[in-house]
């Protein structure tokens, strides 16, 4: 397996534009997590899914952020409209839905909003 | 929800010395405590983990200890080498019954100097 795959690796966009980040989890994993990493706040959990169902989205900063998981092999995180303070590295991670199992991270998407 | 605090935020040691990173967690129900290493520009990767029924675990130069009563756990790296330089994150996992939610500490930037 190629691991968790995220795209794009880098995204530069203008303030106000819509941004869509994509994630393909490891085949067979049924939990998927979206994290945001900044220098100031570290790794923040935005939302996570179990069997394609959102379980906890309390970390989503505001209504401009939305996430979907239409099937077991694909998830998106959308920001609309984007703002400069959304600039960060966004990581997707997946794991098996068993207690105490490792979360595998994708390479991340570095988002810059100018 | 779970809150994980991590100290120190930065740590500089000379090659060959030991490094210790400490974390505390708030939710006594958490029962899985992984440590991730993130090299510059790369994804976080698991280096060692410990479960709540174990007090200590070792893997070559790395060891973790857990004190459930005090709700703190630590990472110990002995005989540090330049390739140990990275950001280290502790995490605590709270199993919600449907998925395991990982909450991360804010990270420790370890610099191993020659």
Q: pLDDT tens, B6-34?
A: 999 999 999 999 999 999 999 998 988 99
For residue A1, pLDDT beyond 80: no
Rounded to whole angstroms, the Cα distance separating A56 from A45 reads 9
User: Is A71 part of the contact surface with chain B (CB cutoff 8 Å)?
Assistant: no
Average pLDDT value for residue range B80-86: 97
Q: What is the pLDDT of residue B47?
A: 96
What does the pLDDT read at residue A32? 94
Give me A72's structure tokens: 């077991």
Tell me which residue in A42, A56, A107 faces B101 most closely, judged by beta carbons: A56
**Residue bearing tokens 């998106």:** A76
Exposure class string for B59-83: b at 16+ Cβ within 10 A, else e: eeebbbbbeeeebbbbbbbeebeee
- Please write down the long-range contacts of B66-73, taking CB distance under 8 Å and 24 or more positions apart: B66/B33, B68/B28, B70/B24, B71/B24, B71/B25, B71/B26, B71/B28, B72/B22, B72/B23, B72/B24, B72/B25, B73/B22, B73/B23, B73/B25, B73/B33
Q: At residue A62, does pLDDT exceed 90? A: no
* Residue A99, pLDDT score: 63
Instruction: Compute the C-alpha angle B87/A105/B34, nearest 5°.
Output: 60
**What pLDDT, on a 0 to 100 scale, did the predictor assign at position B99?**
66
Which of A56, A100, A103 is facing B51, going by the closest CB pair? A100
pLDDT of B60 over the 80 cut: yes
Q: Residues of B with CB below 8 A from A106's CB?
A: 43
- Res B96 pLDDT > 70: no
Whole-number pLDDT of residue B54: 81
* Residue A61 confidence (pLDDT) above 70: yes
B60 touching chain A per CB within 8 A: no
Instruction: Kindly determine whether residue A105 and residue B43, on different chains, have CB atoms separated by under 8 Å.
Output: yes
């Amino acid at each position: 397996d190629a691991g968790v795959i995220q795209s794009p690796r880098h995204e530069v966009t203008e303030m106000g534009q819509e941004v869509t980040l994509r994630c393909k989890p490891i085949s067979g994993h049924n939990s998927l997590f979206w994290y945001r990493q900044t220098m100031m706040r570290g790794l923040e959990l935005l939302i996570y899914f179990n069997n394609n169902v959102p379980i906890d989205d309390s970390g989503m900063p505001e209504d401009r952020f939305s996430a979907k998981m239409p099937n077991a092999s694909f998830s998106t995180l959308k920001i609309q409209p984007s703002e400069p303070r959304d600039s960060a590295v966004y990581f997707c991670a997946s794991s098996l839905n068993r207690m105490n199992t490792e979360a595998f991270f994708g390479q991340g998407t570095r988002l810059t909003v100018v | 929800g779970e809150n994980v605090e991590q100290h120190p935020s930065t740590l500089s040691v000379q090659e060959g010395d030991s490094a210790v990173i400490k974390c505390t967690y708030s939710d006594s129900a958490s029962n899985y405590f992984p440590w991730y290493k993130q090299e510059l520009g790369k994804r976080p990767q698991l280096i060692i983990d410990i479960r709540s029924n174990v007090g200590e675990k070792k893997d070559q130069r790395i060891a973790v200890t857990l004190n459930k009563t005090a709700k703190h756990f630590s990472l110990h790296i002995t005989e540090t080498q330049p390739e140990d330089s990275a950001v280290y994150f502790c995490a605590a996992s709270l199993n919600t019954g449907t998925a395991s939610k990982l909450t991360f500490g804010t990270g420790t930037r370890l610099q191993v100097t020659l």
